[in-house]
Structure 1
Amino acid sequence: MICDEGDALSEDGEVEQAIKKYLTALKLVPLPKNEWEASTWIYAALGDAYFTNEEYVQAKDSFFNALNCPEGISNPLILLRLGESLVECGELDKAKEYLLRAYMLEGYEIFSEEDQKYYELIKDIIGGY
């Protein structure tokens, strides 16, 4: 599958090539794309690749698209990455909202392997230390 190829490329650090694979996979999804579960995962993978590549506006857009696909709104990883992308775009108020949603679904654990600056943004709101 094209997405598997994209995942392998991303893991190998070939993020630009991974992005091309994900975009190719997305083109194969019928319209309207937001009605297909496959779109949720493709947009999320695309967002991750953009985030890794420090293309934060594209990452944000991809995660917003994933959010509007089946089960996207309840996916803690999508919420986390969207929040992180918003931080990097300087949209801190919006970022806090999505970081809080991720925290409410998964607790601190979802932040455990992330840059702690993201958790620090919501720590006072949730009463964390």
Structure 2
Amino acid sequence: MINDTTAAADAAFTDAWDQYNSAIERFEAGDVRDACGKAWNATRGATRAAALAHGEDPQNTNHISSWIRRMGRQEAEFAALPLMYSARAQFLHQQACYDGHIDDPDIPDLIYETADYIRQAQLLASI
């Protein structure tokens, strides 16, 4: 039987994948700024989904950031996730979405590699 925590985490991961797919569509349509926003939402959502799977429900970006840093310290195999999260927060969220700087050469990779981040968050959710 699936409990409420598992159902909430699964729904949050589904939403993260939907956001990612939308990011790719927007990027390929030439709307880089919107793609960055959607890729950031996918990153944040996948991180929150992993937290939900662990019985926690961080409600804002600061709490989500704290949670992923803590998990990166506790679980050695996921030590890179906090850095991946922070890079996306900086480039996709702050620089691209808020500041409109969409010409950074790393942005396309950060958008496409969001799928790898979601997969890592799903693995983290399963431990």
Classify the TM-score, shorter chain: 0.3 to 0.5
Greater length-normalized contact order (CA 8 Å, ≥ 6 residues apart): 2
TM-score, normalised to structure 2, is 0.33
